[in-house]
Every structure is written in structure tokens, then in C-alpha cells.
Amino acid sequence: MSDIVITNARIFDASGDHPFSGEVHIEGNRITQVRRGGASGAQARQTIDAAGAFLMPGMTEAHTHFAWNDQPNLSSIQMMPPEEHILWCVRVAKRYLDMGWTSCVGAATAKPRLDVVTRNAINAGEFPGPRYLAASQEITVQGGLGDETRPHLPFEELSFGTVVSGPEEMRRAVRQFIKYGVDSVKLNLSGEYIAGIPAEFTPFSDEEVAMCVREAKRFGKRVAAHARSAESVKQCVRHGIEVIYHASFADEEALDMLEANKDKHFVAPGLAWLINTSYHAAEWGITPEVAEQMGYHRELEIAIETMKRLHRRGIKILPGGDYGFAWVRHGTNAKDLEYFMKYVGMSATDALLSATREGGKIMMRPHELGQIRPGFLADLLLIDGDPLADISVLQKPERILAVMKDGQFHKSPAVTETRGGGRPY
């Protein structure tokens, strides 16, 4: 007998097929059966009548910073003391799960072990949160994004990044983070306007990047990069950095390189950051005029064109990116899917697949995560409405009727019917 049967659902299985009506059987933490058609009447400990609601795989956020604390600038991230900071991370992790993100790829954290400790606590069942790949701090070089030291305040602790110079210091930093237990190492290969560093600035030497990747791979770890400039995207492809964040200024040569390696690389553009910093941050002093002066309007325009070209060339584009600032708050991440349709030219099906099936790939578990198929992990969302007709329903907490991770309801559907084997005593 199954533990749970969700019947009478409209199933988007993320195989690429159209949704169909049917039911899904779950035993333990796995999907055991996906049936097309009406209710089978199969016995289960718990049967849930979905009443035609939309059943889809849990979503994956490809560029998550639990440690970013919804503040209006970069330096406030690091000013939060460690004790408050870990509690913050734990609370934010729950927000993601509440909003249907059952998996998240950590993109960088602000203190050495925040991500690792959060991941471990989630895995131990101490706190609710998504499946999580823990990241390192951002590794940068002097004057790069993440170096917050000042000539008169040369204290490394001021920075949310860790600053290295030369291959040997890089080797040491990478090994340190691996010792702490990270799943991936993050490099800040390009600048960022809000930090006063042009997006097209590419400060790392190839020797430093090569050392990072070589050391990380030697320990079986992955590397991810903040890479807005064309040259930084090329560094990613040249050195085998799979996860590329932003890629706004990727030129023809960078696109060709990515396309030739498209099975290997993931791009998470983080359009929400560019759009909202450009036009919706006035309350925090970044009026559209200020944002334009910084360079964000130009970057947004170019990034949209670049993403269209990436999508046409079949390069994987995933949702997520730099949520965790005052004007792009944690939990509103499904905005990315709306932006993919509006600006990148994705169909609703493409947008949903980018958050589900492609998410299973970036989580490095394509054989068991991101689709509704027998044998796959039971990470499921029950949605009131049809995201294929109106993708914005995924942004509304009240429309997310149920969230299941690993066969357990994090949010239970309101209407359930228990029958069959019931209680064992």
C-alpha cells in the first residue's frame, strides 16, 4: 500500500509533455507510480483529492544567498553578527520552502560556515528548508567585488568576500572552504556597479582561476562564478566553471564557447536584481536616474538581448539570483519565471522546465530530482490555478496549496481524506 496518493490532479511532470489528469503514488520519500486518467481507488494511508489542482515538481533556485539579509547595501550583509546571522539563515531557508523552492543552489555566503551549518541543520531535520548545496564565501582579489577593506581599515573581517592574491593564496582559500564542508566554491570574476566596480571589469588572472578549479575538482567540488563581463564568461568556459551567474555582457565569442559546451554549463542571469535595482529601488536612494548613472539600465538592456540569444542557442538558463536585498526580497523568487517569459522569450512550459527538470540537473541529481516520475524523489507542489496560463500564481503564497519535500508535507493541503491502513494500533 502507498503512503500517500494524490488523486484527481492536473499533472505537469516536467518531462516536456503537456499536463494530464491523473494521480501520483508516494512511498517513503519516492514517487512510485504516476497514473493517467481518473481515480484508481488504490488504498493508501492518506489519499488527497486535489480537485483538479496543478501538481508539479518542487522548484530549484539556482543562485541562492541565505546569508543576504534583505538590506539596502552590500556592507550591511557583513555587519550582522554571527549569532544573529545563523538564525537569519535558518529563517530564510524556511521562506524558500514555503514558496515552493524545494531545492536551492547556494551561490555564496557571508561568513565562512553559515551555508554549511544551515545545510547540515536542514539535512538533520532540525529546521525546515530546501535541499541545499552549501557555498563558500565569495573569493575575490584586491579591488574586486567583495573586497570591502579600506586603506585605513585594512581588516579582512569587513568583507563578505575573502581576498586572495596569486595562485598559492587561492589554493589556501579553496582548501580552507573545502575543510569547512562546502559543496561549491564561488569566485567573483567580474565587477558589480553597486559596489562601485564596473560590471565589465575582470580582475582575476588565469593562473588564479586555474588554481581554484584544479583544487576544487581534486576534492570533487564544483565552482560557480559571478561573471558579468564577456571575458569572465570566457574564463568560466576555458577553466570548466559549470555554474555561471549573470553573463550579461557575453559577446559572440563567449556565446559560441558556451554553445559548444552547453551540456556542461548553467546560466542564472539574476534579472530580478537588474530590473529592480534599475527601477524599483528609489525608496532606498537608488532612483532610476541614480541606477542609470551607475550603469544598470545599460546592463539590463544588454543582458536581456544576451539572454534571448543564449536561449535561442539552447544554453540552459535557470531561475534565481541575488534575492536577499531590500528591493528583491527572499521568497519573491518566482518573479524570475515571469521575467523569463516577458524578456527572454521563454514559453510558460520552458519557464517551468527551467525551474524543475533543469533544476534537477544543476542539483547534480537529474536521475531523481525535478520531474514527476516513478523512482524520483517526492518533491511536489500543488498549485491553485494554472501556471502555464498565468505564471504569476507561483508568486502568491495563498495559491501554493501544498509543498512536499522528500515525501513529507512541509505545507499540507487543506482537504485530505485518510482511509485504508490508517493507524497501525
4 versus 133: smaller Cβ distance to Zn ion: 133
Return the closest-CA partner of residue 262 out of 213, 310, 334, 225. 310
CB of 13 to Zn ion, least distance (A): 31
Determine the distance from the C-alpha atom of residue 110 to the mean position of all C-alpha atoms in its chain, rounded to a whole number.
Answer: 17
Return the closest-CA partner of residue 50 out of 349, 372, 374, 383. 383
107 versus 400: smaller Cβ distance to Zn ion: 107
CB of 422 to Zn ion, least distance (A): 47
101 versus 376: smaller Cβ distance to Zn ion: 101
Q: Which H or E run contains 149?
A: none
322 versus 379: smaller Cβ distance to Zn ion: 322
CB of 246 to Zn ion, least distance (A): 8
329 versus 396: smaller Cβ distance to Zn ion: 329
Answer yes or no: are the C-beta atoms of 283 and 327 closer than 8 Å.
yes
Contacting residues toward Zn ion, per CB under 5 A: 107, 322
Q: Exposed, middle or buried, 38 (CB in 10 Å: 0-12/13-18/19+)? A: exposed
CB of 263 to Zn ion, least distance (A): 24
Alpha helices, DSSP H, located in 280-390: 288-294, 296-312, 335-339, 348-355, 357-362
Minimal CB distance residue for Zn ion: 322
CB of 192 to Zn ion, least distance (A): 9
The total number of residues shown for the chain amounts to 425
Answer yes or no: are the C-beta atoms of 54 and 9 closer than 8 Å.
yes
29 versus 73: smaller Cβ distance to Zn ion: 73
Residues 6+ apart with CB under 8 A from 216: 174, 178, 184, 185, 222, 223
CB of 235 to Zn ion, least distance (A): 17
Q: What are phi and psi of 199, to 5 degrees?
A: -60, -25
β-partners of residue 224 are: 186, 243
β-partners of residue 138 are: 161, 186
47 versus 235: smaller Cβ distance to Zn ion: 235
CB of 42 to Zn ion, least distance (A): 45
Residues 6+ apart with CB under 8 A from 7: 23, 39, 40, 47, 48, 49, 50
